[in-house]
Amino acid sequence: PNRTLHGHPRLLSSDVYSQYESVRQGKQEIPKYFNFARDVLDKWSEIEKAGKRPSNPAFWWINGEGEEVKWSFEELGFLSRKVANVLTKECGLQKGDRLILILPRIPEWWLVKVACIRAGIVIIPGTSQLSAKDILYRLQASKATCIITTDKLAPAVDSVASQCQLLKTKLMVSKGSREGWLNLTELY
């Protein structure tokens, strides 16, 4: 997957760089509307399916207890399409809508990010350390219509949601349920 850079054996460049060079030199078409999920992730998935590239993990996550999640490009693409469908169909989000994402760096964090890119939804990330006041400020300032968080932060969101007229959908990543919340894990 690496090539020498300018013929020098000690300087290596990746295939990504060589693809960039072909675009820069006008040898490869630049899409009119670039979408990372479609134009990169899905393209690499097609290359792997066709056997033109060995199957490598697109995503590999290991938590502190040793639990491991590993997805190929095809699996990441498939799962991100499922999450994008949840966001657009179940939640009614459209291209340009804003979504606040307050999750620890669990696999769903990446799925939601790629799904938002795929659907054209604007992602507003937040840390799990936000207080109810911080969440209220972000919801009001961003005019977000959807929030995704964990069951730990759901009570903080509920305490300020009545002050956020634009907030229509609350999604929770959890094994349990909560009144007024959709469970993202169950939906996708």
Question: Do the domain assignments include residue 145?
Answer: yes
95 domain residue, yes or no: yes
Answer yes or no: is 10 within a domain. no
Residue 5: its pLDDT value, please?
A: 47
Give the pLDDT confidence score for residue 33 in this predicted structure.
82
What pLDDT does residue 103 have? 96
Predicted confidence at residue 49, as pLDDT, reads: 86
Q: Tens digits of per-residue pLDDT, 29-55?
A: 666 788 889 888 898 888 888 888 887
Residue 125 contacts residue 148 (beta carbons within 8 Å)? no
Both tokens of 145, joined, read 């219509």
Confirm whether 35 is domain-assigned. no
Instruction: Tell me the average pLDDT of the chain.
Output: 87
Q: What is the CATH number of the domain that holds 148?
A: 3.40.50.980
pLDDT for the residue 7: 53
How many structural domains does the chain have?
1
Q: Is 80 left (phi over 0), alpha (psi -120 to 50) or beta?
A: alpha
Q: Using the 8-state DSSP alphabet, how is residue 145 labeled?
A: S
pTM of the entire predicted model: 0.81
CB distance 111 to 83 below 8 Å: yes
- C-beta of residue 156 within 8 angstroms of C-beta of residue 179: no
pLDDT of amino acid 150: 96
Residue 90 belongs to domain spanning? 59-186
131 located within any domain = yes
- The answer on pLDDT for 21 being more than 80 is no
The answer as to whether 70 is a domain residue is yes
Residue 51 has what pLDDT?
A: 86
- What pLDDT sits at residue 77? 92
Q: Which two tokens stand for residue 54?
A: 């060995």
Binning pLDDT at 50, 70 and 90, where does residue 4 land? very low
User: Domain for residue 167, yes or no?
Assistant: yes
* Interval 67-108: pLDDT, tens: 999 999 989 999 999 999 999 999 999 999 999 999 999 999
pLDDT over 90 for what percent of the chain?
Answer: 66
Average pLDDT over residues 146-173: 97
pLDDT grade, residue 109 (50/70/90)?
A: very high
Residue 150 in any domain: the answer is yes
